[in-house]
Structure 1
Amino acid sequence: MLSAVVVAFSMYSRIPMPRIEWTEENMKYAVCFFPWIGAVIGGVEIGVWYLCGLLKMGEFFRTAALTVIPVLVTGGIHLDGFLDTVDARSSHQDRERKLEILKDSHIGAFALIGCAVYFLLSVAGWSEVDEAILPVAAVSFFLSRSYSGLAVVAFRQARKKGMLASFAEQAHKKRVKAVMIVYLALASVFLVWLSPLYGTAAAAAALAVFGYYRYFSYREFGGVTGDLAGYFLQLCELAMILVPAILERLVSIL
C-alpha cells in the first residue's frame, strides 16, 4: 500500500517521494490514493488562508496565492490536460483528429484563451470565498479527484495506450471502484454537514460536471484520456468554488 501511495503522489503531485519501481502490484491500488493529493491541497489552502490573515496580507495577495496553490502542488499536470482539451474541442474536427491534437505537445490560441479565462474565473471565485465557504472549497479537491478516480475504472478508455489507460489496466477495478464510491459518499455527506446550503450546492455542481464529463468525452472522443481527466478536474474544482460563492451573494441579496 505504501508503494501505491508513492506511485500516486509521484505521478500526480510535486510532493517529494522516494524512488521506487512501478510494478503491476504497486499500481493496482494507486488510484485509491489519488484523492488524498486533493486532501493535501485543501489543507494547504486552509493553512495559507489563515497565514495570510495573521500576516495581514492584502486580499489580492491571498486570492492569488489560493489560486496558484493547486498548480504548485500538482506541477500543472491537470492544467496541461485542460489546455490540450480546449485546443482539441475548439478545433471542431472529427474524433481521430481531436485525439491527435490531444497528443500534440504544442498549444494553440484557443488553449491560451481558455487558460486566461480559467484563471480569471478562478481568481474571481477565490476572491469571494469567505470563512463560511472556505471548508467547502477545501473539500472540493478531494471530491473532484474521487470522481476522477471513479472515471478511470468505470468509463470507457478512448485509447488503449497512454498513462490513464495504464492506470486503468493495472488497477483492481472492483475494489478501486468501491473505494471511490465510499470516498464520494463520505465527502458529499461531509460537505452537507459543513454547510447544508453551500456544501449541497458544491456537491451538486461536482456531480453535474461529472455527468457532463462522461457525455462529452464519449460523444467527442469515444471515451476518456488523461488529458480529458485533467480537463474535468479543472472544471470540477472551478465549479465547486464558483457555485457556492455566487449562491452566497444571491442569498445575501434576497
Structure 2
Amino acid sequence: MKSILFAFYQLTRLPLPTIKFDEVACGKSTAFFPLVGLTLGALMAVLDWAVRLLFPVNVEAALLVVGMVVLTGGVHLDGFMDSIDGLFSGRSRERKLDIMHDSRVGAFGVVGVVCLLLLKYNLWLGLTGTELTRILLIVPSLSRWAMTFAITLFPYARPEGLGKIYAIYTGTKELSVSTLIAVAITGVLFRVQGFWLILVCVVLTCLAGLLITKKLGGLTGDIYGFINEAMEVTLLLAVYPVLNINRV
C-alpha cells in the first residue's frame, strides 16, 4: 500500500494523505507506475467528456495537454527539458550531467518542450470519441511502464539522487508487476492491436536507453522523465496507423 501511495506522490500532484518517507517503499513504487498512468488517463477522460460538451475540438486538445501538466506538476516535462539541454550540449559526460542537474533551462530545452507540446496538441486533436477515451487511458499507462522498464534495464549514472533509489530497489519483481498491469490495461482496451504499442514501447525504450547510456554512462531521474514524455508522443504517433487500418 505504501508503494502505491509513493508512486502517486512522485508522479502526480493529486491530494494524498501524508505518510512518512520510506526509502524501500518509494524505490519499489515503480511496480505501480502504470496504475498511476491509468488514473491520470481516467481523470483526463473525465475532463475531456466535460470539455467536449462546451468547447470546439482545438480547445479540447489544448486543455488535454494543459490538464496533464497540471495533474503531474510538470515533473516529467522538467526532466525532459533538462535532458534535452544536457544531451544536446555537445560537452563531456561530466559536463552534460552538470547541465542536467542545473535548475535553469537552456535554449535547447525550451525549443524541445515547445516542439513536444505542439506535437501532443496536434496528435490529441486528431482523435475523437471512444478512440480518444481509450488512448487517454493506454498512453499514460504505457509511457510510465517504460520508465520502470528503463530503470530495471539500465544503470544509474549518478552516485546519488531520488532516481538512484528507484535503481536500487527496482528489480525483476517490480518490473513483472508493472508489466502485468500495463499489458492488462492495453489488452483490455486495445486487444491484440495493443501489443503493437507495447512492441513500440519496448524497442524505443531499449534504443533510447542504449544511446543515452553510451553518452552518460547510465540514466538519471531527468532521463526517466524524458523517456516518459518522449514515449507519450511516440505512442500517440504509433496509434494512428492502427486506427487508420481499422477504418479501411
* Same fold, TM-score > 0.5, yes or no: yes
Residues in 2 aligned to 1:77 and 1:6: alpha-carbon distance in whole angstroms? 17
Is the CA contact 2:146–2:231 (under 8 Å) kept in the aligned structure 1? no
Residues in 1 aligned to 2:4 and 2:100: alpha-carbon distance in whole angstroms? 28
CA shift in 2, pair 1:154/1:243, >3 Å: closer
Residue 109 of structure 2: aligned partner: 111
Residues in 1 aligned to 2:246 and 2:14: alpha-carbon distance in whole angstroms? 39
Q: 1:34-57: CA deviations, max 9, x gaps?
A: 22221111102221222223x231
Identity %: 26
Residue 227 of structure 2: aligned partner: 232
Residue 218 of structure 1: which of 213, 222, 232 is its match?
Answer: 213
CA shift in 2, pair 1:248/1:181, >3 Å: closer
Alignment of 1:21-60 (within 5 A): 21-53=20-52, 55-60=53-58
Structure 2: where are the runs of 5+ without partners?
Answer: none
CA shift in 2, pair 1:81/1:24, >3 Å: closer
Is the CA contact 1:147–1:184 (under 8 Å) kept in the aligned structure 2? no
User: Which segment drifts farther, 31-40 or 75-84?
Assistant: 31-40
**CA deviation after TM superposition for structure 1 residue 122, in Å:** 0.8
Residues in 1 aligned to 2:59 and 2:51: alpha-carbon distance in whole angstroms? 8
Structure 1: which amino acid aligns with 2:232?
Answer: E
Alignment of 1:134-145 (within 5 A): 134=132, 135-145=134-144
Q: 1:66-122: CA deviations, max 9, x gaps?
A: 112221111011000000011111111121111111101111111111111111111
Is the CA contact 1:63–1:123 (under 8 Å) kept in the aligned structure 2? yes
Residue 8 of structure 1: aligned partner: 7
Residues in 2 aligned to 1:203 and 1:33: alpha-carbon distance in whole angstroms? 17
CA shift in 2, pair 1:206/1:133, >3 Å: farther
CA shift in 2, pair 1:100/1:47, >3 Å: same
Residue 182 of structure 1: aligned partner: 180
Structure 1: where are the runs of 5+ without partners?
Answer: none
Residues in 1 aligned to 2:8 and 2:155: alpha-carbon distance in whole angstroms? 24
Residues in 2 aligned to 1:113 and 1:28: alpha-carbon distance in whole angstroms? 32
User: Which segment drifts farther, 227-236 or 61-70?
Assistant: 61-70
Is the CA contact 2:30–2:170 (under 8 Å) kept in the aligned structure 1? no
Residue 98 of structure 1: aligned partner: 96
Pairwise CA RMSD = 2.1
Residue 131 of structure 1: aligned partner: 129
Higher relative contact order (CA 8 A, sep 6+): 2
Confirm or deny that 1:78 pairs with 2:73.
no
